[in-house]
Amino acid sequence: MHDIRFIRENPAAFDAALSRRGASPMSSEVLALDEARRALIHAAETATAEQNKASKEVGAAKGRGDEEEFQRLRALVAEKKAEIAAMNEEAKQKDVELTNLLLTIPNMLYDDVPEGASEDDNVEIGQWGTPRTFDFKPVEHFELASVQGGMDFEAGAKLSGSRFVVLKGGVARIHRALAQFMLDFHVDNHGLTEAITPVMVLEDMMYGTGQLPKFGEDSYQTTNGWWLIPTAEVTLTNLVNGDVVDESALPMRYAAHTQCFRSEAGSAGRDTSGMLRQHQFEKVEMVSIVHPDESEAEHARMTRQAEAILEALNLPYRTMKLCAGDMGAGMKRTHDLEVWLPGQDKYREISSVSTAGDYQARRMNARFKPTEGGKPQFVHTLNGSGLAVGRTLIAVLENGQNADGSVTLPDALHPYLGGKTTLTADGTLA
């Protein structure tokens, strides 16, 4: 959410920032509501002063026996009381309207975010690894002989409909091993605190990280009001919802492995083959809650944390800085990691690492108490995939595939697979 004081003092800059995202100017609408709210508050304060003055004079009129003045002042006090109540109620409604409007406005981008309208305008800022040269035509993950029995889309569809899958046998174990490896790597090498969080949250938590009110169609809600998380960003970031933490507690760095749920609204017809885009999937999510002065360095740090997982698995990737038109609404800057998929002969997104500045913190009222004293300040929040487990499984299968349909597995996974190094053509681990 935005700082209303900034909009009051910089309306042109605010509108210019929105225009970078292709959004319409909003300062006039915001400031009109703000002015109406402030005018009502001022009028209520003036009426309260008049009420207080009249209340004092009531006793004086009674004391000197001026019954007419006494009755007039009593009526005035009652009238002012009713006026004040009505104005306070109207001011409260304007405040709700203003808050609801601010909740729908996207974050302001950092100056270094590239201009552009779509993913075609994203800018490559790094690349690692050389895509493997095959002496046969590589296939997509779901076409591999070793995967045929272990990635059952028919069973998933029978149980739950389209965009669900049942993993079995060796494929299921590799998937589990990947999640374990990622968590251990982040805890042991990056100093993240492992957390196990709920996958169902209260509506306020979805507002806190920006999934609501505008993007509810992208998530699932239960009949009794809980929301299924689209990512552990929601739970981990909201750990400080409504809190004032000591500055000495910062930074807070977390990692969690969870089931995630997305309706994939707006993606009909995209990536319908294989398990690249599912309604239910698993991710290891990273979240950092930091002092504003450390926000920039933390974004670079988190990007490296996600990149390190891919490098440990020997998976070629490139790092992209997203352009203004391809950015998530709540973020100030995003780096996407795209892993090489030889079956598709292209790079595909496997992680997004983003910084929100104080945008989420304002929505959550999450602050820290400065060590040197002074008023509490808003924290900065960052999040990133470290990594999407299913997409990493796809990358491992496709990059390690052999001509006979077997898969040679990354060295980093061997300890998590009981020393097994290969997914054989018949789908077993050896």
The single residue listed with the structure tokens 């490559």 is 124
| Catalytic residue chosen out of the listed positions 163, 262, 301, 362 | 262
Measured between alpha carbons, how far apart are the two ends of the chain, in Å? 52
Question: Does 124 belong to an annotated binding site?
Answer: no
Q: CA–CA separation, 187 vs 190, rounded Å? A: 6
Active site residue 391: yes
| Ligand-binding site membership of 154 (annotated) | no
Q: Is 349 a catalytic residue?
A: yes
Respond yes or no: is residue 277 known to be catalytic. Answer: yes
Q: Is 334 helix (H, G, I), strand (E, B) or coil?
A: strand
Would you say 352 is a known binding-site residue?
Answer: yes
Decide if 276 contacts 267 (C-beta within 8 A).
no
CA distance 185 to 306: 10
User: Is 351 annotated as ligand-binding?
Assistant: yes
Residue 115 known to bind ligand = no
| Candidate list 352, 362, 363, 398, residue with the active-site label | 352
Annotated binding residue 233: yes
Please indicate if the annotation marks 263 as binding a ligand.
Answer: yes
248 annotated binding-site participant: no
Q: Is 19 annotated as a binding residue?
A: no
Would you say 27 is a known binding-site residue?
A: no
Which of the residues 367, 391, 398, 406 is marked catalytic? 391
Task: Name the residue among 94, 88, 96, 89 with its Cα closest to residue 44.
Answer: 88
Question: What's the CA gap between 309 and 307, in Å, rounded?
Answer: 5
Cα dihedral sign for 187, 358, 349, 394?
positive
As a whole number of angstroms, the distance between CA 287 and CA 326 comes to: 21
Tokens linked to 133: 């040269």
Look up 352 and say whether it is catalytic.
Answer: yes
Q: In the block, which residue shows the tokens 């009420």?
A: 51
Which of these is catalytic: 21, 74, 277, 304?
277
Is 385 within any annotated ligand binding site?
A: yes
Q: 186: which 2 tokens?
A: 């982040």
User: Which residues are known binding-site members for L-serine?
Assistant: 231-233, 262, 285, 383, 385
User: Which residues are known binding-site members?
Assistant: 231-233, 262-264, 285, 349-352, 383, 385
User: Which residues are known binding-site members for ATP?
Assistant: 262-264, 349-352
Active site residues: 262, 277, 349, 352, 391
